[in-house]
Structure 1
Amino acid sequence: MVVDKDPVALLVIDMQQGMSGMASGERNNPSAESNIENLLAAWRRNRLPIIHIRHISRTPESPFWPGQPGVEFQLHFLPLAGEHIVEKNVPDAFVCSGLERWLHVRDIRQIVIVGVSTNNSIEATARTAGCLGFKVHVVEDGTFAFPKRDFSGVQRSASEVHAMSLANLDGEYASILSAAQALKMF
């Protein structure tokens, strides 16, 4: 892997209380949280930029509706002072959030993405970031997905959904890394 010496920001997407205990079925990557914690600790030790992204729903019944406990960050992923927080209302963290401008003002052109869920907010954010010209890395064992029916009605496992989403991104919008590889970026 070629290490780019430009500043690299860590985007931690939707690691909120509403994501722990989702009723969407069994998920893949049970060690994702541990991998995200390790990456977050490394970014903090190296004083690199960290952006915490939080979903705020437009649907009152959602656990991510303002004022609900589900909106709050999980305890292991609470932002520290000086770490940027972005709130979004759609899966893509760049839409109507100011994230692109925040990165450009700080001359950050490279991002590492972790969080949930691979085929939703992770994929949407990575696609836009790639289209905007950022060098994007998605940490395959720092994200996870849930089972889902495909368009033909076939039930797909969380691992299949996760793998297809990563395949959609790989090479065109992002590079796919392991947490161990991401730790070697600096």
Structure 2
Amino acid sequence: MSKQPRTVLLVIDIQDAFLEPTFWGPSRSNPNFEKNAASLITSYRHLVAKSPSLAKHKIIHVRHASKSPTSPLWPTAPGFKFQPLATPRDGELVITKNVNSAFIGTDLQGVLREHFGRTSPGTGTLFIIGLSTDHCVSTSTRMAANLGVCDGDGEASGGEKGEVVLVGDATAAWAKGIGGEFLDAETLHKAHIQSLENEFATVRRTEDVRKAWEEWVADS
């Protein structure tokens, strides 16, 4: 990760509704999620600020608007708001979705292709963080890979591939179960991370990703 590519940080569904202690499950994985996500967003904003004229780096916030009026993610519910650590700033794109995938019913694919296609060979790196590991993060990561949104387009690219990077410790999952038999949150979280690794994404740690970005800022 020493060479600086064109990048996007995709922040998925870090909304107030997910602060509910038991609505999504009896326990949650990764107690360091908030700290890691906040540090990545702060670090990435420094990177964006270092290259404003080139617009080489872009942060995109995704939020979920439920179709169910009883959901904490209903658009007029208090939980629809972004959590303070992930509140978008002026100039940062916000995309609203209604299903697990950030690509269905939105213009995210077009936004990414336009951003990565600004320079030859039209490839880049998409960093993904957010909630929850086994739902919207997993679905969006799989679709990003399947759609090839980071890959070069056409003969000019020579078939060069971009990279989807899932920051595994900047996501979290809730315990799931039926009839009182729950799969614990950490096991569920790790299983989904491992199923995404290599085939759909490169899985990295917050510390390593942040260090790379800080090196890019120093080299700018």
User: How high is the TM-score relative to the length of structure 1?
Assistant: 0.93
Unaligned runs of 5+ in 2: 49-56, 117-122, 151-162, 214-220
Q: Which residue of 2 aligns with 1:93?
A: 102
Partners of 2:140 and 2:185 in 1: how far apart?
A: 19
Of the candidates 165, 181, 184, which is equivalent to residue 208 of structure 2?
181
Query: What is the CA-CA distance between 1:22 and the residue it aligns to?
Result: 4.1
Of the candidates 124, 132, 140, which is equivalent to residue 109 of structure 1?
124
Bigger CA drift: 106-115 or 38-47? 106-115
CA contact (8 A) 1:26 1:146 kept: yes
Q: Which residue of 1 aligns with 2:61?
A: 52
Partners of 1:140 and 1:65 in 2: how far apart?
A: 27
Query: What is the CA-CA distance between 1:7 and the residue it aligns to?
Result: 1.2
RMSD value, Cα: 1.6
| Over 4 Å off, 4+ runs | none
Query: What is the CA-CA distance between 1:183 and the residue it aligns to?
Result: 1.2
> Structure 1 residues 102 and 161 mapped into 2: Cα distance closer, same or farther (>3 Å)?
same
Q: Which residue of 1 aligns with 2:74?
A: 65
Partners of 2:2 and 2:104 in 1: how far apart?
A: 29
Partner secondary structure for residue 97 of structure 1? coil
Unaligned runs of 5+ in 1: none
Of the candidates 150, 154, 158, which is equivalent to residue 185 of structure 2?
158
Partners of 1:116 and 1:87 in 2: how far apart?
A: 14
The Cα offsets for residues 84-109 of structure 1, whole Å up to 9 and x where unpaired, read as: 10100001101111001011111263
CA contact (8 A) 1:103 1:109 kept: no
Q: Which residue of 1 aligns with 2:89?
A: 80
Partners of 1:118 and 1:3 in 2: how far apart?
A: 27
Partner secondary structure for residue 70 of structure 2? coil
The Cα offsets for residues 59-105 of structure 1, whole Å up to 9 and x where unpaired, read as: 11111111111100011211000111010000110111100101111
CA contact (8 A) 1:4 1:185 kept: no
User: How high is the TM-score relative to the length of structure 2?
Assistant: 0.79
Answering whether residue 52 of structure 2 is matched by residue 37 of structure 1, we say: no
Partner secondary structure for residue 113 of structure 1? strand
Q: Which residue of 1 aligns with 2:166?
A: 138
The Cα offsets for residues 112-166 of structure 1, whole Å up to 9 and x where unpaired, read as: 111111000110000000111232111111000011138xx95211001001101
Larger Rg: 2
Q: Which residue of 2 aligns with 1:127?
A: 142
Q: Larger % of helix: which?
A: 2
Partners of 2:3 and 2:147 in 1: how far apart?
A: 18
Partners of 1:127 and 1:169 in 2: how far apart?
A: 7
